[in-house]
Amino acid sequence: MRTRAAVLRKAGTPWEVTELELDPPKANEVRVQVKAAGVCMSDWHIMNGDWPMPLPMVLGHEAAGIVVENGPDVIAVKPGDHVIFSFRPHCGRCRYCSSGRTVLCVGHNDTPRWVMHDGTTRVRLNGEPVNQMARIGTFSECVVCPAEQVIRIREDLPFTHAAIIGCSVATGVGAVIRHARVAAGDSVLVIGCGGVGLNVVQGARLAGARTIIACDLLDNKLAYAKTFGATHTINAKLGDVVKRVQALTGGLGVDAAFDAIGGEATALQALDAVAPGGHAVLVGIPAFAVRAPISPFNMVFGEKTISGTYYGSVRPDIDFPILADLDMDKKLNLDDLISRTYKFDEINEGFRLLVSGSVARGVIEFD
Ligand SMILES: [Zn+2]
Ligand SMILES: [Zn+2]
């Protein structure tokens, strides 16, 4: 078989949409026809070399589609099922899977995260293997991947919505409701209003937070944040973020602060902006080399907590269907989040607009 896919050959170069050879699914693998795929900063971090990865690789990790073929021994899904891709493995047996922290699964650590569990890839270019980001690589019309990485969802959910549930919605909303467990009436700060940050904002609204302060460098993103439930906005260019957060919260700071960017300055802002007893949550994934000098003194005397959350600490098998239901119940606003759609051949334009900050979330729709 063949599939058209966007291949990254070298960091710092554009995508090349080209035909690849596609192998059929082996045991415990599925073939999925991709219907929609989100354009995410994590792909960009690999494209620009922040996260060095072995290339060539098919990137893309926020996507949804329809199962078209099962390999032997697959029981969780069948051809025709609508599915969301999960970019984390789920062996179901390791200490983390067994205790419900599936994001931390260590059951498949003997092979790198860009090849299947048998050490090979399912896509090739002129006979040479092409790696698949997170064992999926969804910037492709068809994907063969481990069956544990597709989650069946209701069929009335639009594929564009399903796609973004697979990364930005899970990460942002999950960070609030699954990880930090924000309570009704809490005050929240969200630093960075991209695809993940806007979902932190709407997660905070869903949880009943009373004060939701959104912070970004771009006024258009702050305007988006208001649409999703921000009660106050701060443009970080216009003065000290922490002081302004304190001014909005009676001098104490917020109950929970989320860094949806992933950098030294923003991590420290999050920690400094939480009230005594508060919780700073690191959500955005930094470049490998980032370090941040925290103040242990302030943490001890303020009894502050700092923690990281990966993928919103969601359990995809449980939480993707719940997020789908919340969307269909109009308790999440994914219509306004998807501010732009693209055809597959427009993928380079999609990343240009992502980096410019002019879209809330862009999604590629496949024919
Ligand atoms: Zn992503
Ligand atoms: Zn596991």
Q: What is the DSSP letter of 79?
A: T
CA–centroid distance for 63 within its chain = 10
- Residues designated catalytic: 40, 42, 45, 61, 167
- Contacts by 228-233 with C-beta closer than 8 Å and gap 24+? 228/198, 228/199, 228/201, 228/202, 228/333, 228/336, 228/337, 229/201, 229/202, 229/204, 229/205, 230/190, 230/201
Ligand with the closest atom to the CA of 283: 1
* pLDDT confidence of residue 66: 98
Q: Of 115-119, 280-284, 286-290, 327-331, where does mean pLDDT reach its minimum?
A: 286-290
- Report the pLDDT averaged over residues 161-173: 98
6 CA → ligand 1 middle, Å: 16
Give the pLDDT mean for 58-74: 98
Residue 279 confidence (pLDDT): 98
Q: Which ligand is nearest to the CA of 317?
A: 2
Q: In angstroms, what is the span from residue 301 Cα to ligand 1's centroid?
A: 36
- 286 DSSP 8-state letter: P
Residue 288 has pLDDT above 90, yes or no: no
Task: Please report the pLDDT score of residue 289 as a whole number.
Answer: 86
Say which residues have a Cβ less than 8 Å from residue 113's Cβ, sequence separation at least 6: 89, 134, 135
Q: 296 CA distance to ligand 1 centroid (A)? A: 31
Asked whether the predicted pLDDT for residue 134 surpasses 90, the reply is yes
Quote the pLDDT of residue 4. 98
Tens digit of pLDDT for each residue in 2-43? Answer: 999 999 999 999 999 999 999 999 999 999 999 999 999 999
In the predicted model, is pLDDT for residue 367 greater than 90?
A: no
Coil, strand or helix: which one is 198? helix
Task: Judge contact between 354 and 41, C-beta under 8 A.
Answer: yes
Confidence of residue 286 (pLDDT cuts 50, 70, 90): confident
Residue 54 has pLDDT above 90, yes or no: yes
Q: Are 278 and 271 in contact (CB under 8 A)?
A: no
Residue 287 has a pLDDT of 83
- Interval 186-230: pLDDT, tens: 999 999 999 999 999 999 999 999 999 999 999 999 999 999 999
pLDDT in tens, 297-331: 999 999 999 999 999 999 999 999 999 999 999 99
What number is the average pLDDT over the span 268-280?
98
Q: What is the arithmetic mean of pLDDT over 160-171? A: 98
